[in-house]
Amino acid sequence: MTGPLHDQTVLVIGRGSGIARAVTIAARDAGARVIAAGRNRDGLVAAYAGEPGISAESVDLTDEPSIAALGERLGAIGHVVSTASARARGLLADLDRDAIRRSFDTKVIGPLMLVKHLAPLMPADGSIVLFSGVAASKIAVGTMGVAITNGAADVLARSLALELAPIRVNAISPGVIDTGAWDDFGEQCKASYFADISARNPVQHIGTVDDIANGVLFALTSPFLTGQTLHIDGGEPLT
């Protein structure tokens, strides 16, 4: 398949649903050979069954030997996208130390180790996309754990962009996106929350996984873009 990622290999870390799936499909449709990787390889195989150009691998971002083993199996790789996260929500008095550690381990330390092992396998024109989030730029009570994790992911992207140059490194900072992650709220609470966010956002609607996938493709295919965080959030921090 021809496209801006024709004949390139893209590794996408994450689940077989939501943003990770949208990014995987979009990269494949842009011509890439895509490797979807996560802790549940069997689940990824099932999620992408019947999708040509997509294979599945196993990796645990909280386990460096698992990351090193993935690099040994992959060999050369053109681009890396890490969408994995583990949220630590709640007021300060209720925050759990282990939850904070998991959040940093999954979204900051894990991607750092991922790049440590995979950057040597990448060409000079390769790129890396990490994930931050709107909580880092719109501080709110109850989201401190998420905010500090996302802020660290922003700094990590800039730091890696400098040290790994000319390999490009950028971050994506999504706002509230309808990924299915909000379904635990219950139908009525989710609808009320989305209505409130939509009413306050300048764009006046909730984001979609395709909005984020398009931003990732822009980061992957823009040769003059590095060390940046792309805020795809409907303008939420302005409100």
Tokens of 222: 């823009």
Q: What local confidence, expressed as pLDDT, does residue 78 receive?
A: 98
Q: What local confidence, expressed as pLDDT, does residue 187 receive?
A: 85
**80 secondary structure, DSSP code:** E
Q: Read off the pLDDT band of 1 (50, 70, 90).
A: low
CA distance linking residue 201 with residue 184, whole number of Å: 22
Report which of residues 27 and 188 the model is more confident about. 27
Q: Note whether 226 and 161 are within 8 A (CB).
A: yes
Mean pLDDT of the chain: 95
Q: Read off the pLDDT band of 185 (50, 70, 90).
A: confident
Q: Which helix (H) or strand (E) holds 223?
A: none
Q: What local confidence, expressed as pLDDT, does residue 180 receive?
A: 77
Judge whether residue 165 has pLDDT over 70.
yes
Which is it for strands 33-38 and 54-58: parallel, antiparallel or unpaired?
Answer: parallel
Tokens of 80: 């890396």
Tokens of 188: 């009525």
pLDDT tens per residue across span 33-70 = 999 999 999 999 999 999 999 999 999 999 999 999 99
Q: What local confidence, expressed as pLDDT, does residue 88 receive?
A: 84
Q: Note whether 217 and 4 are within 8 A (CB).
A: yes
pLDDT tens per residue across span 92-123 = 988 899 999 999 999 999 999 999 999 999 99
pLDDT above 70 covers a percentage of the chain that reads 100
